[in-house]
Amino acid sequence: MNQTAIPRSARPRFPTTPLRVLHIAMELAPWAVVGDVATFVRGLAAAQADAGDKVTVVVPRHGDGHWPLAGQQQVVGSRATVVLGEQEVPFELRRLQHPDGFEVVLVQCELFERAGIYVHGDTGEDHADSLLRSSVLCHAALYYALNAGGRWQVIHGHDHHGALATALLRRRFQPTPLQHARSVLTVHDPYRLGLHLPEETPLAGLPWSEGQPDGPFAYQGGFSCLRAGLDLAHRVHCVAEAHAALLRDGGPEGHPFAFDADDTRLGTVPGGIELERWDPATDPALASSFDARDLSGRDACRDELLALAGWDEAELIVGYAGPLVPERGLDQLADAIAARTDSRVRVAIVGRGDPEIAEAWTELAARDERVHVQLSDDDTLLRQVLAGLDLYCLPGAEAAGELGFRAALRYGALLLAAPGVATDEVPEAAQIPLDGDLGDALDRALEIVGSGDLAERRAAALNASRPWHAVARQIRTTFYLDPVA
């Protein structure tokens, strides 16, 4: 029988039945941000909500977060106490609406009132009770899901802090109404394993034996939250193929979990970008607008960056804008510029983060006029720097999955990144391979910015953007709806 095909434009973006999705993370943009997890959770949750799913993000109400005071409401059964090991920890839940259209539930607890989301605000050391903090977050999230009633289709944890939720769903919340939910774990950073002393395992809400040296969640003599989540989640989502490869083969130094090559639980979907928010054609922060069809306005943006840095001219402006964290490899960029004797290459850095990285770059800028550094997370400044850079630099081998380069490409900068950071999702014309010495790569970049095809390369960068809606569709199909073996 002949049938008329339904036009692609008329088909629903997602299956017509909305899913109820609970995300569990330690940070969330724009209120509590350290790295890319906050941006990823915001972008994914917003796209899912916009597509019709019912989305809730559970996050701690950190003491140094920038939370809106208006609009917070108590939820049903908002005050409770969780018993973990020999400790009783009270918490309170509050609900508010995120400006991007999804529900947020804040976990208010004394454990989260101190400065520093992951590390102590003064010492830079990990919080001594970090396992307890992660455990309270995950228990509170699942407690909320039970009290909120109805059926949840997906419980989605993020990194080792949210990994406990996927483990608890299988170990402590069976049988409950949550037993039918699909558990998904997104691994943003597979190098952070959530390692703790074996005797602390009961604080996670898991049996003592499972964190002992011969237990299923042991690694290097400790208990690993990430391993617990990797082992018990129905699906494991990586934000970079390099991360998935690490989980498959254990990596050069081993890893707490090695997936078989044909294990369908593991998959990769890279992050995206908010096209409307990052648009050089309409951005009022820029000296001049531009797009892939008309790049003439970018020259004015580059001139603005030169003026901001106090430079008269530069053949190549290399830089980075975002969280100052070790994984990005910014120390390699500092070494490369210090080793050069010419002034053809200039470096512009803007961001906040690791105190040692910030101090090293500040000292370098003080003695080297080729380097400009601003320790700021001001959004306007970040956009101005991105729009003026010739080259966005990510030399760190652990930078795979980083989201900042997507904004840099969207603003016309070419990408110089370590192998595995962008892989084949970025057009070849928009990349300068870093397959050896960084100094040699900068010399190749000098040749490229002086060549006749620079405009074509910039246009390729501008057109490389992948919206969050595409990311959400792929995650929904691959990790939420695909049958569990």
The DSSP H or E segment spanning 358 is helix 355-367
* Residue 252 burial (CB count, 10 A): 7
Q: Tell me the residue type at 345.
A: V
| Torsion on CA atoms 467, 469, 472, 477, rounded to nearest 10 | -110
pLDDT in tens, 406-416: 999 999 999 99
Contact between residue 400 and residue 381 where contact means Cβ atoms under 8 Å apart: no
Contact between residue 296 and residue 286 where contact means Cβ atoms under 8 Å apart: no
* Residue 90 burial (CB count, 10 A): 12
Reported pTM: 0.90
* Phi, psi for residue 157 in degrees, rounded to 5: -90, 155
| CA 319 to chain CA mean position, Å | 20
Domain ranges of the chain: 16-272+469-481, 297-465
Q: What is the pLDDT of residue 161?
A: 95
Q: What is the pLDDT of residue 254?
A: 64
Contact between residue 445 and residue 432 where contact means Cβ atoms under 8 Å apart: yes
* Gap between the Cα atoms of 145 and 165, Å rounded: 11
Q: Residue 28: name the closest of 19, 36, 37, 38 by CA.
A: 38
Q: Which CATH architecture has domain 297-465?
A: 3-Layer(aba) Sandwich (3.40)
Find the distance separating the first CA and the last CA of the chain, reported in whole Å: 35
Q: Residue 31: name the closest of 80, 65, 7, 79 by CA.
A: 65
Any residues with CB less than 8 A from the CB of 348 and at least 6 apart, and which? 305, 308, 309, 317, 318, 319, 372, 373, 385, 388, 389
Q: What is the pLDDT of residue 400?
A: 85
Q: Which CATH architecture has domain 16-272+469-481?
A: 3-Layer(aba) Sandwich (3.40)
Total residues belonging to the chain: 485
Q: What is the pLDDT of residue 3?
A: 34
Tell me which residues of the chain have a pLDDT lower than 70.
1-16, 121-124, 251-254, 256, 423-424, 484-485
* Gap between the Cα atoms of 44 and 369, Å rounded: 40
SS3 content of the chain, % helix, strand, coil (to 5): 35, 20, 40
Q: Residue 24: name the closest of 121, 130, 169 by CA.
A: 169
User: What is residue 98's three-state secondary structure?
Assistant: coil
Contact between residue 302 and residue 457 where contact means Cβ atoms under 8 Å apart: no
User: What is residue 467's three-state secondary structure?
Assistant: strand
* Gap between the Cα atoms of 405 and 426, Å rounded: 10
Q: Evaluate whether 16-272+469-481 and 297-465 have a shared fold.
A: yes
Contact between residue 465 and residue 410 where contact means Cβ atoms under 8 Å apart: yes
Q: What is the pLDDT of residue 4?
A: 35
